[in-house]
């Protein structure tokens, strides 16, 4: 065994002062076991001559990552986001006798909207989660087309084209669930969560037709002077989940998915007439995003969102200007939306 190297550090005025003297000994210790390689460790022993006590610190333990022992649980979280949406929507009906389908249809395409949305969340340490969501978007550009048919499998007999640069979209939702965590975000560079959710949602969109031109029987276009409004509403329960992965403390990716079952109701003021649509619908919403967290309180996010909704067949009630009510089959309504959002999140 090699000799032990001992370094003794004494206070320079030890001979004068009566105070306690601190001595530090550093040992280079070699531990050899039969059939095993040699391990070297550097140990520091500190003596307090006044109390007679000593303590030992190893170099290996001093290199360990220091972890906080008390991490404050944050019950509430809030987020505010804004961004761009591109929507499309259309509906169809059959003739009153059912012989022509489609008989009338309306389409809104390339609708550009600007959206602002707010989210509020609550989470107990045991994992119970409650969340709320509200969003509003206004339309600033878009195209619209109305078609009327007089026989099946034919081109439109009447076609009207106009602008759709007004209108809005509103979205409200609430949900509860339970969050399952894996890994520890404080101690590990990789951790994550999965939160199954059940909720209820209500959506409403207002679509408009303004100005434009009209073509009858393939003839020349004439000014249409369209002034039609249509209000689409979707309300019902949903099932889904939130999920995310935390990377190296400050970075994270997140996603969500919702499958909706809804009662659909459409209300329209249509060329001095009033129409009402009812049907059962379903839809889904999903998003994928990135989050940067400079600290435990604040975070900044960027996300892509997509949703798709459609109905089955239902009923149409058309009330004419003379108050006559005409019943027809409502064929379907389809809505699709894509968006991109950026925002800030706070936990407290």
Question: 208 and 279 share a domain?
Answer: yes
pLDDT band at 24 (very low <50, low <70, confident <90, very high): very low
Question: 50 and 135 share a domain?
Answer: no
Task: Give CA–CA dist 266/286, Å, rounded.
Answer: 24
**Domain residues for 58?**
7-62
pLDDT at 29 over 50: no
pLDDT band at 56 (very low <50, low <70, confident <90, very high): low
Task: Give CA–CA dist 43/56, Å, rounded.
Answer: 7
Mean pLDDT for 309-316 is 97
Question: For residue range 269-282, what is the model confidence (pLDDT) as tens digits?
Answer: 988 899 999 999 99
Question: For residue range 75-122, what is the model confidence (pLDDT) as tens digits?
Answer: 999 999 999 999 999 999 999 988 999 999 999 999 999 999 999 999
Residue 201 near residue 240 (C-beta atoms within 8 A): no
Q: Is residue 68 part of a domain?
A: no
Q: What is the DSSP letter of 60?
A: H
Percentage, residues of the chain above pLDDT 90: 69
Q: Is residue 1 part of a domain?
A: no
Question: 222 and 187 share a domain?
Answer: yes
Mean pLDDT for 63-86 is 77
* Strand, coil or helix: 62: helix
Question: For residue range 151-181, what is the model confidence (pLDDT) as tens digits?
Answer: 998 999 999 999 999 999 999 999 999 999 9
pLDDT at 51: 47
Within 8 A by CB and 6+ apart from 318, the residues are 270, 273, 274, 275, 325, 326, 327, 328
**183 vs 278, higher pLDDT:** 278
pLDDT at 11 over 70: no
Question: 265 and 141 share a domain?
Answer: yes
pLDDT at 54: 53
**Number of separate domains in the chain:** 2
Q: What is the CATH number of the domain that holds 184?
A: 2.40.128.90
pLDDT at 238 over 60: yes
Question: 234 and 260 share a domain?
Answer: yes
Question: 313 and 242 share a domain?
Answer: yes
Question: 43 and 118 share a domain?
Answer: no
Hey, which residues does 305 pair with through a beta bridge?
A: 287, 339
Percentage, residues of the chain above pLDDT 70: 79
Picking from 195, 298, 177, the residue whose alpha carbon sits closest to that of residue 256 is 195
Question: 40 and 110 share a domain?
Answer: no
Within 8 A by CB and 6+ apart from 320, the residues are 273, 326
Question: 269 and 201 share a domain?
Answer: yes
Question: 30 and 168 share a domain?
Answer: no
Question: 101 and 195 share a domain?
Answer: yes
For 12, the token pair is 């320079």
pLDDT at 337: 98
pLDDT band at 248 (very low <50, low <70, confident <90, very high): confident
């Amino acid at each position: 065994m090699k000799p032990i190297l001992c370094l003794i550090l004494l206070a320079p005025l030890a001979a004068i002062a009566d105070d306690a003297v601190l001595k530090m000994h550093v040992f280079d210790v070699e531990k050899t076991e039969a059939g095993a390689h040699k391990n070297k460790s550097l140990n520091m022993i500190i003596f307090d001559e006044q109390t007679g006590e000593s303590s030992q610190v190893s170099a290996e333990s001093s290199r360990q990552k220091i972890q906080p022992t008390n991490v404050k649980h944050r019950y509430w979280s809030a987020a505010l986001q804004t961004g761009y949406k591109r929507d499309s929507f259309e509906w169809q009906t059959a003739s009153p006798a059912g012989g022509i389908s489609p008989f009338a249809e309306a389409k809104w395409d390339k609708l550009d909207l600007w959206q602002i949305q707010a989210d509020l969340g609550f989470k107990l340490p045991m994992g119970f989660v409650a969340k709320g969501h509200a969003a509003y978007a206004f339309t600033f550009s878009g195209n619209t087309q109305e078609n009327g048919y007089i026989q099946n499998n034919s081109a439109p007999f009447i076609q009207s084209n106009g602008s759709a640069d007004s209108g809005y979209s509103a979205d409200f939702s609430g949900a509860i669930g339970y969050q399952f965590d894996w890994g520890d975000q404080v101690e590990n560079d990789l951790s994550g969560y999965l939160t199954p959710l059940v909720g209820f949602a209500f959506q409403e969109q207002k679509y408009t037709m303004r100005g434009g031109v009209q073509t009858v029987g393939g003839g020349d276009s004439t000014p249409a002077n369209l002034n039609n409004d249509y209000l689409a509403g979707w309300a019902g329960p949903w099932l889904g989940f939130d999920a995310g992965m935390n990377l190296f403390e400050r970075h994270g990716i997140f996603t969500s998915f919702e499958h909706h079952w809804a009662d659909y109701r459409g209300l329209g003021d249509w060329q001095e007439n009033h129409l009402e649509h009812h049907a059962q619908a379903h839809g889904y919403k999903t998003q994928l995003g990135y989050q940067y967290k400079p600290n435990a309180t604040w975070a900044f996010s960027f996300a892509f969102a997509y949703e798709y909704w459609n109905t089955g067949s239902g009923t149409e009630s058309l009330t004419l200007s003379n108050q006559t009510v005409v019943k027809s089959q409502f064929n379907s309504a389809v809505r699709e939306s894509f968006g991109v959002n950026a925002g800030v999140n706070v936990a407290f």
